[in-house]
Amino acid sequence: MTDLNALSAREIAARVQSGALKATDIVGETLDRVLKMNPKVNAIVQNCGSDALAEAEALDARIAAGKPVGALAGVPVTVKVLSDQKGYASTNSCQIYSDVIATQDSPFLRHMREKDAIVIGRTNTPAFSYRWFTTNGFYGATKNPHNDALTAGGSSGGAGAAVATGMGHIGHGTDIAGSIRYPAYACGIQGLRPTPGRVPMFNQSGPDRAIGAQIMAVSGPLARRVDDLRLGLEGMAGYAPEDVWSAPVPLVGPAYRRRVALVTHPGGIDTDPRIVADLQRAAQMFRDAGWEVETPAQIPELREAVELQVDLWLSDGHEAKMEAAQREGDAGAIALLSHYADRAARIDVAGFGALFSRRAALIRAWRGFLADYPVVLMPNCAELPFRQDQDLEGDAMIAHLWDVMLPQIAIPVLGVPAISIASDVIDGVPSGVQLVCPPWREDICLEAGEVLERGFGFPGLVG
């Protein structure tokens, strides 16, 4: 049998389409990989093996009959447990939601299935997906594949750990404050946060999302190769009427100036020297590839974007969020919401309206900057991946983490795409860089990301 993890997702799909590989063999080998690796990292918490094998058999039969199949034919993927998948519980890693059984797929998953992707499992999150640490009292902790002492990231930590260990080629994640980009960074893989509206998300099993989540949360792919991110995005994206923010924007935009802004300390963060070195290496890779690289004297405001993110997401509906967290009894969720409780209590209707006015001003400034610099090269975080459950070390630590995570938290407020690119793993500690691009220009993220992937090298398979 071919080593599946030596192939890209696009190569797997091409071989399945041609009949050179059987979807049943691919799924079977992937499920064997899950049996081997999942006990070590606890990334997949709902196994879809029986359904995956049945779907693979049906796909092979269609191919044998000469029927057309999709661009993701036979590609093994994972889905985050907060998303609807028909017949499975949309738990968001909470015991209190264990009986919320989806009766239909979320639209991004429907799109992937239409292209014949096969879901082999559903991945772990922190309870309510509030944290950058994927631990909870329901499914337990997801381990960082490189180092048990470190977080696998969050909230898509299960997706990151699954991809890094070869349990599926493409992982579905969501991102409202770094929940795709940070697990990719922590697990030493690649992750793409799309523009809001690019990938449709709607859970029929629950109520509509609050306004902060509607305007900032996105679904997107994690993978070990940038081209797998591209294929994953092509599979997930597309207009869907259920998502009121969904927009049918082409995936490839017009020609652009290959100009990069190098920003090593955005918002004045104290970036770790190893990360600064990664950024300098990345800048040279762009120069060697013929791109312009400049260090602008200043960039538009980012610290205020973090403040707006807190209020638009955590302060809105704070009392209901806290009540649910207390019912679940999750220490991480309670600690975070308690940290911002007084702030949430101070926001009134006028204050909430003012947030949108300031957000518009910041977006306008950043769109202007990105028109001049279509790629901004910056850190994912000021620090290397955190210790597991570092946010449970007290209120001052929560404040510290939210300060050093400025490059993750600010970007969703601005409504732009960003990609996390792995650099290397040294002594069991991954690192990487982030690229930020204009709205709807994921194609720039991916093209620029491939420049760095060629320089840094493809992330290695763990285990």
Q: Which are the catalytic amino acids? A: 80, 155, 179
CA distance 62 to 22: 11
Q: Residue 441: which of 378, 373, 364 has the closest Cα?
A: 373
Q: Residue 409: which of 261, 269, 251 has the closest Cα?
A: 269
Q: Do 462 and 145 form a contact (C-beta atoms < 8 A)? A: yes
Residue spans of beta strands (DSSP E) within 385-436: 418-426, 429-436
CA distance 208 to 244: 10
Q: Where are the alpha helices (DSSP H) in 252-376?
A: 273-288, 303-310, 318-328, 331-339, 341-346, 349-372
CA distance 32 to 259: 45
Cis status, amide bond into 155, omega within 30 of 0? yes
CA torsion through residues 28, 29, 34, 36, sign: positive
CA distance 402 to 379: 14
What contacts 13, CB < 8 A, 6 or more positions away? 70, 71, 72, 73, 74, 75, 116, 231
CA distance 64 to 61: 5
Q: Residue 236: which of 204, 205, 194, 208 has the closest Cα?
A: 194
Residue spans of beta strands (DSSP E) within 268-412: 292-294, 375-378
The CA distances from residue 54 to 17, 57, 327, in Å, are 18, 5, 37
